[in-house]
Every structure is written in structure tokens, then in C-alpha cells.
Amino acid sequence: MSIDLKNLSKSELNDLIKSAERRKNELVSENVQRVRDNIAKLLSSEGLSFEQVYGGRQGGKEKVVKYKVRPKYCNPDNPTQKWSGRGLKPRWFAAALAAGKQEKDLLIA
């Protein structure tokens, strides 16, 4: 199949490019599905599950467990304001340092 690109207008070329990209994406999706089906058939014929072979969850991403960090510093003027020492310094912390306090003065005992 040969297309004479020299006779196409800009809009016709853009349409052709969009159609070609769409078809390319369809081919990739079809290939991915075919591979998934083959893997599922192979696992089934061997009596195995995806998790047994690869471990963890399907999709390749393990669940990340986030732990809440205990606060390390406390605002002496307002004890409900606390900071773990991670991330940006809160304004009250910076203001206390500017007022002459040291970090060790703001530590939670």
C-alpha cells in the first residue's frame, strides 16, 4: 500500500497521522491482550496462580504502607501545634528560632 504524501493537504496529513497512531495503539493493545491470555492459559495448565509465580499483587505494584511519624517538636505557645521534623518547617517553628529559641528548646520531652 502506497500513499502519495505530496498530494495531501496539511489537514489530510494530520488525519492520516492520527489514524495511523490510533491503529498503532490498537495493535499494541491487541498484542498485550494476546500475551495476557497466553500467560493465563499457561498458568492455568500448570495449576498455578499469578501470585504464586510472581509474588505480590497483580499489576506489579506492591502496596506501600505509610506510617505516621510521631511529632518531635511542639510550639510552646500553643501545645496543639506539633511538627515531626520532616518537610517544611512550620511558621511557628521558624518564628521561635528567629526569636532566639534553639531546636532543643522545642523538643517534646
| pLDDT at position 2 | 82
Tell me which amino acid residue 102 is: Q
83 and 50 assigned to the same domain = no
| pLDDT at position 63 | 72
Q: Which long-range CB contacts under 8 A does 60-63 form with residues at least 24 apart?
A: none
CA distance 100 to 85: 18
In-domain check, residue 102 = yes
82 and 50 assigned to the same domain = no
| pLDDT at position 46 | 92
Q: Model-level pTM?
A: 0.45
In-domain check, residue 2 = no
Give me the number of domains the chain comprises. Answer: 2
49 and 82 assigned to the same domain = no
| pLDDT at position 60 | 57
Q: How many helices (H) and strands (E) are present in the chain, helices listed first? A: 4, 2
Residue spans of the chain under pLDDT 70: 1, 56-62
Dihedral of CA atoms 45, 51, 52, 53 in degrees, nearest 10, equals: 70
| pLDDT at position 109 | 77
Q: Show the domain range for 19.
A: 9-54
50 and 81 assigned to the same domain = no
CA distance 103 to 86: 14
| pLDDT at position 64 | 78
**Cβ atoms of residues 41 and 34 within 8 Å:** no
17 and 49 assigned to the same domain = yes
